[in-house]
Amino acid sequence: MDLSRDAALAADVTDPLAGFRARFTGTDDDGPDRLLYLDGNSLGRLPRETPAAVARVVEQEWGTGLVGSWRDWVEQSRRIGDELAAGVLGARPGEVLISDTTSVDLYKLLVAAVDARPGRDVLICCADDFPTDRYIVAGVADSRGLTVREVEAHIDTGLDLAVLARALDERVAVVVLSQVAYRSGALVDVAEVTRLAREAGALVVWDLSHGAGAVPADLTAAGADLAVGCTYKHLNGGPGAPAFLYVRRELQEQLRQPIWGWFGQHDQFAMGPAYEPAEGVDRFAVGTPPVLAMAAVEVGVRLTAEARIERIAAKAQALTGLVIELADAWLAEHGVTVASPRDAARRGAHVSLAHPAAWQLTQALIERGVVPDFRTPDRLRLGPAPLYTRFVDVWDAMDRLRTVLSDRSYESHPVERSRVT
């Protein structure tokens, strides 16, 4: 493989997604000292269309339309959900809702799923999954008198499906798993896990947060039951943007979520004395949706759908593949090892590099104009978002990392990480 900078530039020339970069802020500078943003898997860049979209809601719909704008706003969660379903998640109309936060959505769907499997007393989650997921599983188990069965996963290569299969039995009610491991980027086969769980009589709640907008989910084809995910990473909805939930159409009338809010009521404006859940996916709504924030989410969803998820995923594999090739060629002699799956089909849209001084390297890179992030215990995580990251950006970022390792300038940074990472 040609690892020259010229080869990276040539890859950018033929990149079918190249035109999307200009549609994000902060991408105009092409100078040698430009900021190289490789943390799109934590917070996506700001689309240029977003400020105007939010301003339109503020100035026209709120400022002029006032309460009359609720005629449109009341349908916003489902409308954007349908756009996300069709353009990104491979789901059907009426199966996706923009709602609450990922944590709240996970709680709602997990409790609903547990109640749909009476007589079963075990919840399964992954021991290396994102903390919120594990905490919510533990909390639900504690409140319901259930047992949590944590399956082990390799910190770098992810979950072995044979291990999961051995953990599944007639006691398991629900399995909670992430499609993409937050630390390593290891990818799990949604269809195969769904099949294994269904054979055992269990439901699966998927967390798509680290894959949505960068990795195909194909929820309908996979037969997925339930899913949640955030919109501020690869979907570029902005910090704290509302999350989404997915409920397979055939399950919707069987499930009742635990937070009985008025937006999930059958006839919310009747203001009736008793709660009666709405039909379809609307029954998983709770309270008044964050209208301003959802305007930003809609821009990100439409950009992603326009780019097409299969093209985004292909570029993600190529960008992360370049990270791995350069790490092997340049960084191995400095003690850096690849801590993510090498098989592109087993990898999401980010790569982790292991080094004993990963925290110091992270700080040194930020000082040099490269934005990665750090994950315990000793992982430098690089997330080159396909919609706005070029191959030459990856090349230049890895070159700066090579320099930081060669001149050992990272050693001047504190060994201990701060509370804010």
Tens-level pLDDT at each residue, the chain (421 residues): 799 999 999 999 999 999 999 999 999 999 999 999 999 999 999 999 999 999 999 999 999 999 999 999 999 999 999 999 999 999 999 999 999 999 999 999 999 999 999 999 999 999 999 999 999 999 999 999 999 999 999 999 999 999 999 999 999 999 999 999 999 999 999 999 999 999 999 999 999 999 999 999 999 999 999 999 999 999 999 999 999 999 999 999 999 999 999 999 998 888 889 999 999 999 999 999 999 999 999 999 999 999 999 999 999 999 999 999 999 999 999 999 999 999 999 999 999 999 999 999 999 999 999 999 999 999 999 999 999 999 999 999 999 999 999 999 999 999 877 654 4
Cis peptide before 131 (omega within 30 of 0): no
Please answer whether residues 7 and 322 qualify as being in contact, where contact means their C-beta atoms are separated by less than 8 angstroms: no
Structure tokens at 100: 């609450």
Cα–Cα distance for residue pair 267/279, rounded to 1 Å? 10
Task: Determine phi and psi for 37, rounding to 5 degrees.
Answer: -95, 110
Cα–Cα distance for residue pair 327/41, rounded to 1 Å? 19
Structure tokens at 7: 């080869």
pLDDT at 377: 94
Is-catalytic flag, 381?
yes
pLDDT at 155: 95
Q: Which of 20, 24, 182, 232 is catalytic?
A: 232
The residues that bridge with 49 in the sheet, in sequence order, are: none
pLDDT at 419: 53
Is-catalytic flag, 343?
no
Please answer whether residues 328 and 338 qualify as being in contact, where contact means their C-beta atoms are separated by less than 8 angstroms: yes
Task: Determine phi and psi for 373, rounding to 5 degrees.
Answer: -145, 170
Q: Which of 283, 302, 381, 390 is catalytic?
A: 381
Is-catalytic flag, 249?
no
Is-catalytic flag, 130?
yes
pLDDT at 421: 46
Q: Which of 207, 225, 373, 393 is catalytic?
A: 207
Q: Which of 23, 120, 233, 283 is catalytic?
A: 233
pLDDT at 416: 76
Q: Which of 24, 37, 107, 130 is catalytic?
A: 130
